[in-house]
């Protein structure tokens, strides 16, 4: 049976973007014909967390609404380099626990992290959505693999915009940053576009 995950930010005993996480769980279960969902707020309350700090609450659940939780101390780490990896067949429409295909792509890459290209379009990294900077504005690809909660939140609050970002125009952007439930819009972790080691017209392009 398919297993799904939600990774939720907990900081100083406060849970973040709960409504968007709940919406995704609801929509995932509804897509597979389930009329009821699991209550994330109740799960968080039952943790009875009384410790400050930054944690990732990982909830793994299945279509029968069985679930298990892990509360993991979290620290954001900087990544040295990135590689574009083309995989036109890969689909990650739901937040599946199974990451075998992603792990294969990472294993073949010659960089710390991958940026997945699908039909010439930039999508996501192996664990996050991505933002690109042009001038003073930040844009996220319209061609995401998974519409993450942080991406949804930043678009709704008008901090970022959507754009069609392709192999043909990626060099029009000067910098990029990674966002997910644990990583907010953050000026401290901005990478120059040159951190992508195999931009178009350079060697090392990897096709899966």
Mean pLDDT on 62-89:
94
Same domain, 90 and 28: no
Confidence check: pLDDT of 201 > 80:
no
Residue-averaged pLDDT of the chain: 93
Same domain, 203 and 119: yes
pLDDT digits (tens, 9 = 90+) for 34-49: 999 999 999 999 998 8
Confidence check: pLDDT of 207 > 80:
no
Q: What is the model's pLDDT at position 48?
A: 85
Confidence check: pLDDT of 94 > 60:
yes
Instruction: For residue 33, give the CATH number of its domain.
Output: 3.30.470.10
Q: Could you give the percent of the chain with pLDDT greater than 90?
A: 87
Same domain, 34 and 113: no
Same domain, 59 and 125: no
Of 54, 73, 92, which marks where a domain is finished? 73
The domain tally of the chain equals 2
pLDDT digits (tens, 9 = 90+) for 107-124: 999 999 999 999 999 999
Same domain, 165 and 123: yes
Q: For the packed helices 40-47 and 18-31, what is the interaxial angle rounded to 10 degrees?
A: 130
pLDDT digits (tens, 9 = 90+) for 43-68: 999 998 899 999 999 999 999 999 99
The full DSSP string for 142-169 is SS-SS--HHHHHHHHTTSSEEE--BTTT
Confidence check: pLDDT of 149 > 70:
yes
Same domain, 109 and 178: yes
Same domain, 11 and 35: yes
Instruction: For residue 149, give the CATH number of its domain.
Output: 3.20.10.10
- Of 112, 168, 161, the closest CA to residue 136 belongs to 161
Mean pLDDT on 55-84:
94
Same domain, 11 and 55: yes
CB 95 within 8 A of CB 20: no
Same domain, 88 and 63: no
What span, in angstroms and rounded, lies between the C-alpha atoms of 199 and 143? Answer: 18
Same domain, 69 and 91: no
Which residues form the domain of 36?
Answer: 3-73
According to DSSP, residue 171 is labeled G
Confidence check: pLDDT of 99 > 60:
yes
């Amino acid at each position: 049976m398919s297993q799904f995950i939600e990774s939720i930010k907990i900081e100083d005993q406060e849970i973040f973007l709960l409504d968007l996480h709940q919406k995704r769980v609801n929509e995932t279960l509804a897509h597979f014909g389930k009329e009821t969902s699991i209550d994330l707020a109740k799960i968080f309350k039952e943790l009875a967390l009384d410790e400050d700090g930054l944690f990732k609450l990982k909830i793994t659940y299945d279509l029968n609404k069985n679930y298990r939780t892990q509360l993991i101390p979290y620290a954001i780490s900087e990544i040295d380099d990135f590689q574009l990896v083309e995989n036109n067949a890969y689909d990650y429409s739901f937040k599946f626990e199974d990451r075998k295909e992603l792990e294969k792509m990472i294993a073949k890459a010659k960089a710390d992290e991958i940026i997945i290209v699908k039909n010439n379009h930039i999508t996501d990294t192996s664990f996050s959505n991505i933002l690109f900077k042009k001038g003073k504005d930040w844009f996220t690809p319209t061609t995401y693999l998974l519409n993450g909660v942080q991406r949804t939140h930043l678009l709704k609050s008008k901090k970022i915009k959507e754009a069609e970002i392709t192999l043909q125009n990626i060099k029009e952007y000067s910098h990029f940053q990674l966002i997910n439930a644990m990583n907010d819009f953050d000026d401290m972790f901005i990478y120059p576009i040159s951190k992508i080691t195999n931009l178009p017209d350079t060697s090392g392009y990897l096709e899966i």
